[in-house]
Amino acid sequence: MRRLIPTESERLQGFPVNWTSPTDPDEESLYDFDSLRYHAIGNAVSVPVIEWIAKRIKSMLGVKSENLSISEIMFKYGDFRKNKPRQQNVQSEDHCRIKWNTGGIAINGDAFDCRVFEACNKTIKSNLIDFISTSYPAKKYFLSSGAARGIIRRADGQNRKLFTPLRQSLERLSEADLVQAI
């Protein structure tokens, strides 16, 4: 049982392979940068998701709303048609205290907002194997029996339920060196 190597994690996030790899190979040989790479990948936002959001923003920037009436704007955007928009005055002293719903627009001193439920829903069919390296990874990427015991202990201590096949594999691995020692 092994963890994903950094390049596999990069692929899953939509980054090019070795995107987080240090540029100086001599420097890389002096340190183990995997922790820093995993940290950078884990703190990143998935590229395909950001692309989807950016395209939505770009499409909205091209819309000339200053010549549209409020009713035309409400009709133009599906979320305002489906959900009852709320109107608030943004010219009052309390305008900084407006708590926006998930979507809205401000025009001529009034803010109109509503719940927005649209999300990226284009499913891209793929398998995890599509992201896995074809070469055999270094030994350091494989879990030790002690690491397997630690994962189980941490999950149990936090009252978390592990995916059953994962739990069973970790239990087998955690007992591996105990059986060999006997």
Cβ-contact 95, 89 below 8 angstroms: yes
Q: Band of the pLDDT at 163, cuts 50, 70, 90?
A: very high
Whole-angstrom distance, CA of residue 66 vs CA of residue 121:
30
Compute the radius of gyration of the chain from its Cα atoms. Answer: 25
In the predicted model, is pLDDT for residue 182 greater than 50?
Answer: no
Span 43-68, average pLDDT: 75
Given the structure tokens 């590229």, which residue do they identify? 47
Q: Under DSSP, is residue 110 helix (H, G, I), strand (E, B) or coil?
A: strand
CA 158 to chain centre: 23
Span 90-110, average pLDDT: 69
Choice between 57 and 150, residue whose per-residue pLDDT is larger: 150
Q: Under DSSP, is residue 84 helix (H, G, I), strand (E, B) or coil?
A: coil
Work out the mean pLDDT of the chain and round it to a whole number.
80
pTM, to two decimals: 0.59
Among residues 126, 132, 117, which one has the least CA distance to residue 48? 126
Among residues 65, 89, 84, 87, which one has the least CA distance to residue 76? 65
Contacts of 110 (CB under 8 A, 6+ apart): 70, 87, 88, 89, 90
Choice between 126 and 122, residue whose per-residue pLDDT is larger: 126
Choice between 171 and 21, residue whose per-residue pLDDT is larger: 171
Cβ-contact 47, 21 below 8 angstroms: no
Query: Considering the chain, what percentage of its residues have pLDDT values greater than 90?
Result: 26
Which of 17-26, 61-70, 94-103, 114-123 is least confident?
61-70
Which run of H or of E encompasses 167? Answer: helix 164-181
Cβ-contact 5, 141 below 8 angstroms: yes
Maximum average pLDDT range among 27-36, 68-77, 120-129: 120-129
Domain boundaries, the chain: 143-182
- Position 153 scores a pLDDT of 96
- Position 127 scores a pLDDT of 83
Whole-angstrom distance, CA of residue 166 vs CA of residue 182:
25
Q: What is the 3-state secondary structure (H, E, C) of 86-104?
A: EEEECCCHHHHHCCCCCEE
- Position 149 scores a pLDDT of 95
Choice between 6 and 91, residue whose per-residue pLDDT is larger: 6
Query: Considering the chain, what percentage of its residues have pLDDT values greater than 70?
Result: 76
Whole-angstrom distance, CA of residue 171 vs CA of residue 20:
33
Span 51-67, average pLDDT: 71
